[in-house]
Amino acid sequence: MTPHSQWSRRRRSAATSVLAKITVHDWVASIAVFFGVIVGATVLSESSRLMSVSQPDTAPSLGSGTFACASPTHHDGDAIRCGFIGRSMRLYAIDAPEMPGACRPGRRCTPGDPFAARDHLASLTKGRSVRCRQVDIDHYGRRVVQCFAGTIDLSCQMVRDGYAVERYGRLRC
């Protein structure tokens, strides 16, 4: 028995049989499709990332470290929560009236209507592109952020409109 005849008697596995039938052209096409999917996914991911943080030409420059605040919500007049960030963030250098029961004993809380302050802040962000950058961390570990709704600095506008007071820093209006 020759060595060649020993090989011919062996049974090929199902995978070996399938691989033996694939041509070079099929291999090249498969590799091209694979890399096309990888490149396409990378391009789509990058373009969607750029679209989410794109800034209008008229908006003030916040520098590096800015992020888009998707679907902003507000618990009170000096806080903002972005859809993709789980924790509420404080607007820099302002204090707004506290919601009922939130003013701790011994603390000097800002007078005014907390519901009106929250609703006014919500009206400033509704339907606008909101971008923020972190400027500090407060003593509770929350981000302190400067945010713009279009070209409007939210902290400055809340003070200007009488719904908050300047506190915990200097406004840059």
| Mean pLDDT of all residues in 119-131 | 97
Q: What is the pLDDT of residue 6?
A: 54
Query: How high does pLDDT run on average in the chain?
Result: 78
Buried b (16+ CB within 10 A) or exposed e, 152-173: bbbbbbbbeeebbbeeeeebee
| 90/123 same-domain check | yes
| 43/78 same-domain check | no
Q: Are 98 and 77 in contact (CB under 8 A)?
A: no
pLDDT at 121 over 60: yes
| Mean pLDDT of all residues in 36-60 | 42
Q: What is the pLDDT of residue 107?
A: 85
Domain annotation covers residue 10: yes
> 73 lies in which domain range?
66-166
Residue 89 backbone dihedrals phi, psi, to 5 degrees: -120, 145
Q: Structurally, how many domains does the chain consist of?
A: 2
Q: Are 131 and 67 in contact (CB under 8 A)?
A: yes
The whole model's pTM is what? 0.63
128-155 pLDDT, tens digit per residue, is 999 999 999 999 899 999 999 999 999 9
51-67 pLDDT, tens digit per residue, is 333 333 334 455 668 99
| Mean pLDDT of all residues in 77-93 | 91
| 72/147 same-domain check | yes
Domain containing 82 — which CATH number?
A: 2.40.50.90
